[in-house]
């Protein structure tokens, strides 16, 4: 056999597997369903995500990307290990795709669970990103929550893992006061998310103080994440870290273990007699 034919055969034999299809962003929606939220709040949250996914402005943002498509998955979370998948990785590149996914979300029934493990949610989201069949030019975790981390590893450790894997974390702190478990929440949840949760280039959060703000907040957040845009203050609050290095030190240190400390002070409420 001629040498060049042998070389060609070897090249074909050892050709690496085809790379995953590229998308503009692989996006994980991590949705808080802890019992500190009422049934009504869980329904508003579910319907807000369903409406946002199919909104014309969101579809337009997807179409304006370099690839014109994104991949998204969604799960509910509460305490450590309390995770329920709402939908698996799904490719969105048309209005029909988005409408079908929106209806799937709308038909889901949130299942409330005990405790709040933001660190567990971040770690699960990182696992989901590794399992994506698509390769995102950007990798983003979008995490909502109505209280600080009070179970699992410290949230700073989970955030460091995300930064090490070049993953951006954006936040949607739910700063409402009509849920049944407010005793374990904090008044400055937006500051907690800024200092302890969100990180990466252009990372941001959108605080929600009234539930009627939620549909617009999640729609705006999705548009920014899909487009890789850096929002302007004061509409949203930017993270203090804009790169994948160590987060910048705040002029006033923030206690990122505040949730764990509140739990230790008040856990007797749930202790057996």
In a domain, 122, yes or no: yes
Q: Residue 51 domain-assigned? A: yes
CATH code: domain of residue 233: 3.40.50.410
In a domain, residue 9? The reply is: no
The predicted pLDDT at position 15 comes to: 38
Token couple for 139: 């990798």
Inside any domain, residue 101 = yes
What is the total count of domains within the chain? 1
Q: According to the model, what pLDDT value does residue 235 have?
A: 41
Is there a domain that residue 184 lies in? yes
Burial of residue 211, with CB atoms counted within 10 A of its CB: 0-12 exposed, 13-18 middle, 19 or more buried:
middle
**Element at 135 (helix H, strand E):** strand 134-145
Question: What b/e string do you get for 143-166 counting C-beta neighbours within 10 Å, with b at 16 or more?
Answer: bbbbbbbbbbbbbbebbeebbeee
In a domain, 267, yes or no: no
Predicted pLDDT at 210: 87
**pLDDT for res 68:** 96
Residue 167 lies in domain:
20-246
Tell me the two tokens of residue 205: 């959060």
pLDDT mean values, one per 10 residues, the chain (273 residues): 44 47 97 85 91 96 96 94 93 96 93 89 98 97 93 96 96 78 78 94 90 90 85 48 51 84 74 45
DSSP conformation letters of 216-252: HHHHHHHHHHHHT--PPTTTSEEPS--SSSSPPPPSS
44 domain-assigned: yes
List Cα–Cα distances, 184 to 96, 114, 115, 146, in angstroms.
41, 12, 9, 10
Q: Is residue 217 part of a domain?
A: yes
Whether residue 263 contacts residue 151, with contact meaning beta carbons closer than 8 Å, is answered with: yes
> What's the chain's Rg over C-alpha atoms?
20
- Residue 131: its pLDDT value, please? 97
């Amino acid at each position: 056999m001629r040498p060049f034919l042998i070389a060609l055969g070897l090249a074909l034999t050892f050709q690496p597997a085809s790379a995953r299809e590229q998308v503009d962003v692989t996006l994980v929606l991590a949705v808080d369903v802890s019992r500190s939220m009422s049934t009504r709040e869980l329904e508003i949250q579910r319907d807000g995500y369903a409406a946002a996914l199919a909104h014309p402005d969101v579809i337009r943002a997807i179409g304006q990307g370099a690839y014109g498509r994104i991949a998204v998955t969604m799960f509910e979370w509460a305490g450590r290990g309390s995770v329920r998948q709402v939908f698996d990785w799904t490719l969105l590149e048309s209005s029909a795709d988005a409408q079908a996914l929106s209806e799937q979300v709308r038909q889901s029934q949130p299942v409330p669970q005990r405790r709040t493990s933001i660190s567990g949610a971040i770690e699960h989201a990182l696992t989901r990103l590794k399992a994506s069949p698509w390769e995102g030019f950007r990798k983003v975790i979008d995490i909502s929550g109505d209280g600080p981390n009070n179970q699992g590893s410290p949230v700073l450790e989970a955030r460091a893992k995300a930064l090490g894997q070049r993953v951006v974390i954006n936040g949607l702190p739910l700063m409402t006061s009509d849920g049944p478990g407010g005793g374990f929440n904090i008044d400055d949840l937006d500051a907690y998310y800024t200092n302890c949760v969100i990180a990466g280039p252009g990372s941001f959060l959108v605080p929600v103080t009234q539930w009627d703000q939620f549909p617009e907040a999640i729609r705006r957040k999705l548009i920014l994440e899909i487009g890789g845009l850096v929002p302007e203050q004061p509409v949203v609050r930017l993270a203090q870290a804009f790169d994948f290095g160590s987060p910048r030190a705040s002029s006033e240190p923030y206690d990122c273990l505040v949730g764990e400390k509140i739990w230790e002070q008040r856990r007797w409420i749930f202790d057996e007699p």
